[in-house]
């Protein structure tokens, strides 16, 4: 057994570092155990040796100082690993298995887990429903941008890949199952995307690219992706999307009409979240922009999927209302058109097995779509800095040199 561990840690706005921490124990966070009156010892848990762990745009919100994350917050919720230790109550996951870990931590026992709503489990976070690894206000669980990590309720949470060699061969696709592929799919499907749909995706970061790719899998006839970053727009166009440059003059509806013949779409996806900016070159931050755009161009009765992150605490917001997540959303517009919103964490377990099957059957090339780029754990700070500058890459950390 290893006796050392390292993890990426938030050190203040714009700064992360790789720090040494204790090797994980089969224990849940004390704050979770004491709040729910349950044992801290976790015979239901496993320890994973990280095969891959990815940098997420949600992590960047913390690293930019745009959440209430404290200095010392461990990072990383996109986890794919090899099981190296199992608790005595783990029955169906074995040492040596290669597994995907949903970023949602779920007990598998509460009412909401039984309803499939694993993003809002009731038993894993004292602060609110739902928890995640390495994230502020998400229960104190240690992050997975690390050498090793503990995963609780392992039989329920983990998705085992059927063949180890095949999994390692396709790891740059399978690593996306922990978050962005299901999250993008959730955004597209909850917006109502189906065969022949016209779809607009706001944001060409990794989640937006995953949503656009998922919309294609769901049979969309045209997928438009709006962004102000030329490199990211080119990445969206590389797999058949139509890029819309939001720095150029003109209304979004007119730009949509130039593509599909009318200024409305059948489904819209917000893959930007609370750090949205207005339109035009050098536009200032305007956090309700994307939601209002989506209501403007969504046809009457259309859905708006919102995998983009919104928070209740943003110390860097543009005004006092936005600091608590109160935004200038034109709800009357959406109401008048009978639009519907679907918000919140993606319940990864609803989708990850089916999307795994698509990858293993060579029907989904998600790693290429999001431009998966491998780095070492020691290169994580450089990866964060590069990602923050808007490069069209999804950084995949390979702590142990297991990626071919």
CB-CB neighbours of 313 under 10 Å: 14
pLDDT tens figures, 19-43: 999 999 999 999 999 999 999 999 9
Q: What pLDDT was estimated at residue 280?
A: 83
CA pair distance 341, 331, nearest whole angstrom? 10
Write the DSSP string, 281-312: TTPPB-TTHHHHHHHHHEEEEEEEE--S---S
Length of the chain: 404
| Cβ contacts of 39 within 8 Å, gap of 6 or more | 33
pLDDT tens figures, 243-290: 999 999 999 999 999 999 999 999 999 999 999 999 888 889 999 999
134 alpha carbon, distance to own chain's centre = 13
In order of their start, the domains of the chain are 5-179+347-397 (3.90.180.10), 180-342 (3.40.50.720)
User: For every one of its 404 residues, what pLDDT tens digit does the chain have, with 9 covering 90 and above?
Assistant: 457 899 999 999 999 999 999 999 999 999 999 999 999 999 999 999 999 999 999 999 999 999 999 999 999 999 999 999 999 999 999 999 999 999 999 999 999 999 999 999 999 999 999 999 999 999 999 999 999 999 999 999 999 999 999 999 999 999 999 999 999 999 999 999 999 999 999 999 999 999 999 999 999 999 999 999 999 999 999 999 999 999 999 999 999 999 999 999 999 999 999 999 998 888 899 999 999 999 999 999 999 999 999 999 999 999 999 999 999 999 999 999 999 999 999 999 999 999 999 999 999 999 999 999 999 999 999 999 999 999 999 999 999 999 98
**Tokens matching residue 382:** 């450089």
Q: Could you tell me whether strands 46-54 and 148-151 are parallel, antiparallel, or unpaired per DSSP bridges? A: antiparallel
Contact 290, 202 (CB under 8 A): yes
pLDDT tens figures, 186-232: 999 999 999 999 999 999 999 999 999 999 999 999 999 999 999 99
């Amino acid at each position: 057994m290893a006796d050392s561990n390292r993890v990426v840690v938030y050190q203040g706005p714009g700064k992360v570092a790789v720090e040494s921490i204790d090797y994980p124990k089969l224990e849940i966070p004390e704050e979770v155990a004491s709040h729910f009156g349950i044992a801290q010892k976790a015979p239901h848990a496993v320890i994973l040796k990280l095969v891959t762990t990815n940098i997420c745009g949600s992590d960047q919100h913390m690293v930019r100082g745009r959440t209430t994350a404290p200095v010392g917050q461990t990072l990383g919720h996109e986890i794919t690993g090899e099981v190296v230790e199992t608790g005595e109550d783990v029955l169906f996951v074995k040492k040596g298995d290669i597994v995907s870990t949903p970023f949602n931590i779920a007990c598998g026992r509460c009412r909401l887990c039984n309803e499939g709503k694993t993003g809002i489990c009731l038993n894993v976070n004292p602060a609110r429903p739902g928890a995640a690894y390495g994230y502020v206000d998400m229960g104190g669980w240690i992050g997975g941008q690390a050498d090793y990590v503990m995963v609780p309720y392992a039989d329920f949470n983990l998705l085992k890949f059927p063949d180890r060699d095949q999994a390692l061969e396709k790891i740059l696709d399978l690593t996306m199952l922990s978050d962005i592929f299901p999250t993008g799919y959730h955004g597209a499907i909850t917006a109502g995307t189906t065969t022949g749909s016209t779809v607009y995706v706001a944001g060409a970061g990794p989640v937006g690219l995953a949503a656009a790719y998922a919309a294609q899998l769901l049979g969309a006839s045209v997928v438009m992706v709006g962004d102000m970053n030329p490199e990211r727009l080119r990445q969206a166009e590389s797999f058949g999307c139509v890029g819309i440059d939001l720095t150029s003059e003109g209304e979004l509806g007119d730009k949509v009409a130039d593509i599909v013949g009318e200024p409305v779409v059948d489904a819209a996806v917000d893959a930007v979240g609370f750090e949205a900016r207005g339109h035009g070159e050098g536009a200032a931050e305007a956090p309700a922009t994307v939601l209002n755009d989506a209501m403007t161009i969504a046809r009457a009765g259309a859905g708006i999927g919102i995998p983009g992150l919104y928070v209740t605490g943003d110390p860097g917001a543009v005004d006092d209302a936005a600091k608590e997540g109160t935004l200038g959303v034109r709800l009357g517009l959406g109401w008048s058109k009978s639009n519907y919103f679907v918000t919140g964490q993606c319940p990864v377990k609803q989708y990850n097995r089916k999307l795994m099957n698509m990858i293993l059957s060579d029907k989904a090339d998600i790693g290429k779509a999001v431009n998966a780029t491998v780095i070492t754990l020691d290169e994580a700070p450089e990866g964060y800095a590069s990602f923050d500058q808007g490069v069209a890459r999804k950084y995949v950390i390979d702590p142990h040199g297991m990626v071919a």
